[in-house]
Amino acid sequence: MGDDVNPDRDDLPLRANTSHILVRHYVLDLDIHFHTQVITGTLVLFLEPGPGAGEGAWAGEGPGAGEGDLYTAQPSKTADSWEDESNGDFTLVLDCCDLAVSKVEELDVASVLDLLGLLEEVRGEESVVEPQPGSQSAVLIQRLISLPATQWKKQHHLYSQCSRAPASESGRPLVFHTDRWSLQVRHRGTRTPQEFPRALRICYETKPEGGSVRWTKDQDNRSCVYTAGSPINNRALFPCQEPPVAMSTWQARVRAPRGCVVLLSGENQAEPTHLQETGLCSWDYYVTMPMPASTFTLAVGSWSLVPTAQQTALFGAPHSHTGSLDLPFAASPQFMFERSALKDEKHFESGCTVSGENNVSCCHVDYPCRFTEASAWSQRIIPHRVFAPPSLVPKAQFQILPLLPRCLAAAHATLGVHPFPRLDILIVPAGFSSLGMASPHIIFLSQSVLCGERDGVGGVQPGLSLCGSRLCHELSHSWFGLAIGARDWTEEWISEGFATYLEDVIWARAQQLSRTETDEQSKLKALLRWRRLSEELQNSEDQLQILRPNMESTGQVSESGSSFVKHALNPEKNFMQVHYLKGYFLLRFLASKVEDERFLSFFKLFVMKYHGQLILSQDFLQMLLETFPDKERQGLTLEAIHADWLDRPGIPKWLFEGSAAWTQTRLVEEVKAEPVSPFLSLPQSVSFTHRNGAYICCCDDLVCSVVSEVVKWIGLNQSVGRGRKRKRARPKVNLDRVVTPEQLVLLLELLLEEAELSVTSLCTIQRTYNLQEQDAEVRHRWCELVVKHKHTEAYHDVEHFLQHDQAMGVYLYGELMVHEDARQQALARHCLSLLQDEMDQSARRVVEEMVL
């Protein structure tokens, strides 16, 4: 450490000195100003000396000042003098960028009468209290921070009161300094973290260009702002300690124009308070479970609460719907949910020894944990709300609302207690760069997970699968990613690999699929993911393919607690799925060793032990090997898993061998070359027979059905090419056989491997599968086909996709440019010029590089 970080480099610095001092609670008080695109406010920090506070090494280990402004009571000084003048004083380092800090002050908490009550308690049990080198204030704050979980209400009340305390008049002044990545604060003459003030107020404002929040318009052209899931996390929203080890609780009060909804990572469902004098509304949220500051999420906009089918008026409805199961569920029969089945816990609990609250012994720090509440264990569906811009309310109502209780119940059945007591879902603006993002109590979903224009009544919902599986993916993050976090953010697979694996499990349960259907679905998804992974591995740098980039030094930090996240700022990384997919295949590999049911039961055990804590890869693997000790004898060791899966780029051996069937396949080629021979290279031994000019698959396997369809299309295309009568070329496709969106994706991907497809073929394919009505994954493949074959008649489909599915469109820009076709390039430029203002920053940068 110590080197000044070049913001153009790939690694994200985490400079907060969390070994010396820890933020235990944040109180935010913010005003949202849409006209200036600025958030102004105050942040109050409650601090406690960290685990390394007694070592006395802080004075020498300056965090290294970069360019920046110096604010003190005195005239401004240069960065050099900031370093020089420390005189051995302790420096509090917070992660921060693009914030204008105007004041940092110590709070006079001794003036808070209610807090003094704690001092009485302190006197009452004097022997319990550690001798404090600091002032009475330090004793008070320590006592406040240490209140037991059962007294969280009192604790939050006192935090709130303290946050409004006046600045301390007496004592030495605080000085502060900002550079590119940090805010540094000193207290003149204070040498140690123990003596450092325990309650600070920081007055600041955000900058419109700050990367943590996005100011944009929603789909109805109204202003909104949200935390963007940026690689720099929340440090351009408020100064904070970013290293995940700094877990804290928070309270936030946010004022916004009336008519806006303020959504925030808070466990309470806040109701707005109208402020007469300003015409604004104020919203209060809090959490009692300590979490990394990076998980804090905020969204403010004119969104509507999506009413359930029974509710007639927006906002006139009850605010807590616990997912009535009586909702009409307008989907294909396969999604029909039996009420009785939902209630049948036995179906879900099979093989799991952990159930009920009896076995719970929490290993995390003290907080009011749902895992210890009997009522939480029986709550399969937590209270939830869905918000969307008014124009998308009907789609959200018919697509997301009916799915949500089913997915929540299936997640509960798979993983146990919901770690969070409630959930809001927001359909984010079109410029959001991903299909979804999970935060405590909030999930952002892209409009791309919603399907076509039809309202879904009475027909098959072609897009429901994308919506449902994405929802299940984000729900999985409540357990893997949030309740159990990564100690080292470079080990991204711990959340993304798990969520990708679990989305299949949970979504299959939500649909009540049979065992066979589940297996088939999972095989098809594995094949699609394998194709995606092998393509990405061929087209990315080795360094970006390693699941545990820090290898044996994973989780290690500098003496002060600072560290950095490898590759986190590399814009390319945002569009890669290697960690999702390799992590997913690692879990499939482990499941194959242990067998699926036992593997999933183990997930519950793991959650029981590690919820509320941060983990490294080895924590999971170690516990797995201990739980199934016979596996170690069969060669499954920590070292082997590290070597094959986590610490090297490329394709792990098992995956390479196991997928040989798929890789060698060239599925279609083989059928063409030798149509009547056994089709051995498919995952299952499947044979095709040649009958009446059509290849008939002899099994109902989802993959085989696709392959036989593809072969038909290719035959059709060739016969058209040879000038046969078009009549004969009429496809006899059997729509019953390619029914799922995943099948269509595979079908189009296989067709993409064809060098030539005629205009007639393309038009027929589009009509046959009604491609415009399909989900975004399917339409994306269709657009690739259109671009590849310069199918000008369907360029409007490409343009529509780039505009409405920005979370997925980045790759298409590259395709449009690569063929050196003037019309395609003009199309790319046209879309970029239309969208550049609403595009996500990193997406925009990547696209501009390709297009301009």
Rank residues 358 and 538 by Cβ distance to Zn ion and give the closer one.
Answer: 358
DSSP 193: G
Which H, E and C letters describe 290-315, residue by residue? EEEHHHCCEEEECCEECCCCCCCCCC
The candidate with the shortest Cα–Cα distance to 195, out of 113, 264, 135, is 135
Q: Segment contacting Zn ion (CB under 5 A): 361-369, 713-721, 764-772, 827-835? A: 361-369
Q: Exposure pattern of 577-600 as b/e (b: 16+ CB <10 Å)?
A: ebbbbbbbbbbbbbbebbebeebb
| Shortest separation between residue 371's beta carbon and Zn ion, angstroms | 4
Number of H helices, E strands in the chain: 29, 27
- Nearest to 159, CA basis, from 168, 150, 174, 146: 146
Whole-angstrom distance, CA of residue 194 vs CA of residue 217 = 46
Work out the end-to-end distance of the chain between its first and last CA atoms, rounded to an integer number of angstroms.
37
Stretch in the footprint of Zn ion (CB under 5 A) among 26-34, 258-266, 289-297, 366-374: 366-374
Nearest residue (CB) to Zn ion, 360 versus 591: 360
Q: Decide: is 813 part of the binding site for Zn ion (CB under 5 A).
A: no
**To the nearest whole angstrom, how small is the minimum distance from the Cβ of residue 602 to Zn ion?**
18
Cα-Cα-Cα-Cα dihedral sign, residues 703, 704, 709, 710: positive
Least Å distance between CB 292 and Zn ion?
Answer: 17
User: What is the CA angle 750-756-760, rounded to 5?
Assistant: 95
- Torsion sign over Cα 845, 849, 851, 852: positive
- Residue holding tokens 């898993």? 641
Closer Cβ to Zn ion, 362 or 752, answer by number: 362
Q: CB-wise, 309 or 362, nearer to Zn ion?
A: 362
Beta strands in 453-496 (DSSP E): 484-486
Mark the segment that binds Zn ion (CB under 5 A) among 180-188, 356-364, 536-544, 777-785. 356-364
744 binds Zn ion per the rule CB under 5 A:
no
Instruction: By CB under 5 A, name the one of 110, 309, 354, 362 that touches Zn ion.
Output: 362
**DSSP 3-state of 372:** helix
Beta carbon nearer to Zn ion, 422 or 532: 422
Q: Taking the complex as a whole, how short is the minimal distance between the CB of residue 611 and Zn ion, in angstroms?
A: 5
CB-wise, 371 or 501, nearer to Zn ion? 371
Chain mean position to CA 271: 26
Enumerate the β-bridge partners of residue 249.
25
Q: What is the nearest approach in angstroms of Zn ion to the Cβ of residue 412?
A: 16
Q: Which is nearer to Zn ion, 385 or 611 (CB)?
A: 611
Cβ proximity to Zn ion: between 377 and 387 the closer is 377
Contact in structure between 117 and 151 (CB atoms under 8 Å): no
- Taking CB under 5 A as the rule, does residue 610 contact Zn ion? no
Q: Minimal distance in Å, beta carbon 736 to Zn ion?
A: 49
CA distance 270 to 9: 40
Should residue 371 be labelled a site residue for Zn ion when binding is judged by CB under 5 A? yes
369 part of the interface to Zn ion, by CB under 5 A:
yes
* Closest C-alpha among 471, 386, 387 to residue 437: 471
Q: Which is nearer to Zn ion, 419 or 431 (CB)?
A: 419
Catalytic residue among 61, 242, 474, 536: 474
DSSP letter string, 761-822: HHHHHHHHHTGGGS-HHHHHHHHHHHHHTT-GGGHHHHHHHHHH-TTT-HHHHHHHHHT--H
Q: How far is the CB of 356 from Zn ion (least distance, A)?
A: 14
HEC letters along 47-98: EEECCCHHHCCCCCCCCCCCCCCEECCCCCCCHHHHHHCCCCCCEEEEECCC
- Contact range with Zn ion by CB under 5 A, out of 99-107, 292-300, 365-373, 799-807: 365-373
Q: Between residues 301 and 481, which has the closer beta carbon with respect to Zn ion?
A: 481
Only segment of 220-228, 300-308, 357-365, 628-636 that touches Zn ion (CB under 5 A):
357-365
Residues in binding contact with Zn ion, number by CB under 5 A: 3
Per CB under 5 A, the segment of 183-191, 319-327, 362-370, 821-829 that binds Zn ion is 362-370
Task: Please give the structure tokens belonging to residue 848.
Answer: 């501009």
DSSP letter string over 560-615?
Answer: TS-EEETTTT-GGGGG--HHHHHHHHHHHHHHHHH-HHHHHHHHHHHHHHHTTEEE
What's the closest the beta carbon of residue 385 comes to Zn ion, in angstroms? 25
At 636, list the tokens: 């499954």
Q: Tokens in use for 21? A: 């001092």
Q: Which is nearer to Zn ion, 589 or 610 (CB)?
A: 610
Residues 401-430 binding Zn ion (CB under 5 A) are none
When the beta carbons of 119 and 608 are compared against Zn ion, the nearer one is: 608
Identify the helix (H) or strand (E) that includes residue 26: strand 21-33
Q: Does 337 bind Zn ion (CB under 5 A)?
A: no
**Rounded to 10 degrees, what is the CA torsion of 29, 32, 38, 39?**
10
**Contact criterion met (CB below 8 Å) for 336 and 353:** no
- Tell me the closest approach of the beta carbon of residue 364 to Zn ion, in angstroms: 6
Query: Does 479 participate in binding Zn ion (rule CB under 5 A)?
Result: no
Binding flag, residue 752, Zn ion (CB under 5 A): no
CB of 369 to Zn ion, least distance (A): 3
Least CB distance from residue 135 to Zn ion, whole Å? 34
Q: Using the rule CB under 5 A, give the single segment among 360-368, 597-605, 628-636, 650-658 that binds Zn ion.
A: 360-368
Catalytic annotation on 474? yes
Rounded least distance, CB 295 to Zn ion, Å: 17
The region of 71-79, 355-363, 482-490, 491-499 touching Zn ion under the rule CB under 5 A is: 355-363
Residue pair 157/114 in contact (Cβ under 8 Å)? The answer is yes
Regarding 300 and contact with Zn ion (CB under 5 A), the answer is no
Catalogue the active-site residues. 474
Which residues in this chain contact Zn ion in the complex, by CB under 5 A? 362, 369, 371
